[in-house]
Amino acid sequence: MSKVTLEQIVSLCKRRGFVFQASEIYGGLAGFWDYGPLGVELANKIKAEWWKSVVTDKDNIYGIDGAIIQNPKLWEASGHVTGFTDPLVDCTNCGARHRADHLVDSDSTDLTELKKLLEGKTCPTCGKMTLTEPRTYNMMMKTWVGPIEDDSSVSYLRPETAGSIFINYENVRETMRAKLPFGIAQVGKAFRNEISPRDFIFRVRELEQMEMQYFINPDDQDKTYQDWREFAWKFLIERIGIKEDSLVWNEHAEDERAHYASKAHDIYFKYPFGAKELWGTHNRTDFDLSNHSKASKKDLSYFDEQSKSRFTPFVIESSVGLGRMFLAVLADAYNEEEVNGETRVVLKLKPELAPYRFAISPLLKNKPELVSKAREVQAELKKVYGNVIWDDNGNIGKRYRRQDEIGTPYCVTVDFQTLDDDTVTIRDRDTTEQKRVKISQLGDI
């Protein structure tokens, strides 16, 4: 379990502008959240780090940005229309609906097994023993394309970003002259009509995914699968800065795997509400390309020049939800410490992820010469880092506490000595140590 409570994270996010409830002034809407000024900065940096690591730094992985609404035949071929389901129970007393597996804290989706586990269970909403037998419930969000709302115009908001990757496999292969192995990556929104969204931004109805599908010769599946497992683990620790003891592997049993997977491992993060899925690595075999080839009547097989053989590529999937990674980063970085007899909240974010790299302050905001000089320093640092915040509200101690709480690594104070020798005081977020350095040396810090 994380050392921080979910209530502390939610409070920090609202108080400091990381995450707001969607439509808050109208009472909100369950499962939907808005990212505020600091939240969007952190989220964008997480996405940029993932994109650089997965796409930019590699020669054989290409990015796309597929449409949110696709031809509904895609989701029929992928199995989502019939298989993208959760077990649901209703309360006949109060009308509330609940995820059956959540009520009994089980990973099973077998309705017979869940029925046994639910015996004697009461409704969490009204406390009555009036729950129906579990039944399946499709989580895709329906919409209509065109002016007439009938069966012929039904479509779906995509439940995952992988679908548009698979149907663009041949387009990417041809235009990029790609040879196996190669990957296609995408960052984008997906929508799931969750029965009971919960745990803040962990389980939501509108989510953003970072997914990569790696197309390979079936003979290479075992090694490639291990390679991408190692990639995910190292990325979280080295590129995002999550502590290794906050992570643990979980292998899916045969009855827990998605319908398309022959093997599946998740990296679990120790969230405040328990160890839960953060990043998934799956062997999807040739399920997707074979099904789309059959349904579309398009040949999606691959001819290997070296072996002179033709086959349908296998796919290794590496998939992570942005919201879950965002929440893991905050929970892992959150600390409460005593400094000079006072308790401070500090987010020890990796500096590259912090919403602001520097906070610039004049020692006194009513001294024009200090304000002018501090603005000069801010302008110079902005040229290099972009994300530099101005803070002259309250005394210097309060400014430090405020910047600690949002994860700013360095606070730079311009005082009267600055006017004489072009030095400033720079304070380190994690150690609280202060030292004087030349303005010209701030970039080196």
The reported pLDDT for the residue numbered 254 is 83
- In SS3 terms, the chain reads as CCCCCHHHHHHHHHHHCCEEECCHHHCCCCCCEEECHHHHHHHHHHHHHHHHHHHHCCCCEEECCCCCECCCHHHHHCCHHHHCEEEEEEECCCCCEEEHHHHCCCCCCCHHHHHHHCCCCCCCCCCCCCECCCEEEECCEEEECCCCCCHHHEEEECCCCHHHHHHCHHHHHHHCCCCCCEEEEEEEEEECCCCCCECCCCECCEEEEEEEEEEECHHHHHHHHHHHHHHHHHHHHHHCCCCHHHEEEEECCCCCCCCCCCEEEEEEEEECCEEEEEEEEEEEECHHHHHHHHHHCCCCCEEECCCCEEECCEEEEEEEEHHHHHHHHHHHHEEEEEECCEEEEEECCCCCCCCCCEEEEECCCCCHHHHHHHHHHHHHHHHHHCCEEECCCCCHHHHHHHHHHHCCCEEEEECHHHHHHCEEEEEECCCCCEEEEEHHHCCCC
Residue 239, both tokens:
């590129």
- For 131, residues 6+ apart whose C-beta sits below 8 A from its C-beta are 89, 90, 91, 92, 98, 103, 118, 121, 122, 123
Check pLDDT > 70 for residue 75. yes
The reported pLDDT for the residue numbered 108 is 77
- Distance from C-alpha of 77 to C-alpha of 66, rounded to nearest angstrom: 17
Tell me the pLDDT tens digit for each residue of 156-182: 999 999 999 999 999 999 999 999 999
Q: Dihedral of CA 33/35/36/42: which sign?
A: positive
The reported pLDDT for the residue numbered 2 is 56
What average pLDDT does the chain have? 93
Q: What are the sequence ranges of the domains in the chain?
A: 6-82+140-330, 85-138, 356-441
Which residue has better confidence, 20 or 338?
20
Same fold, 85-138 and 356-441: no
- Percent of the chain at pLDDT exceeding 90: 76
The reported pLDDT for the residue numbered 1 is 47
Chain centroid, CA 185 distance in Å:
15
CATH 3.30.40.230 fits 85-138, yes or no: yes
Check pLDDT > 90 for residue 386. no
Check pLDDT > 90 for residue 309. yes
Tell me the pLDDT tens digit for each residue of 114-161: 888 989 899 988 888 889 988 887 788 999 999 988 888 989 999 999
By mean pLDDT, which of 2-16, 62-76, 99-113, 178-192 is the weakest? Answer: 99-113
Check pLDDT > 50 for residue 370. yes
CATH architecture classification, 356-441: 3-Layer(aba) Sandwich (3.40)
Which CATH number does 6-82+140-330 carry?
3.30.930.10
If you average pLDDT over residues 217-233, what whole number do you get? 97
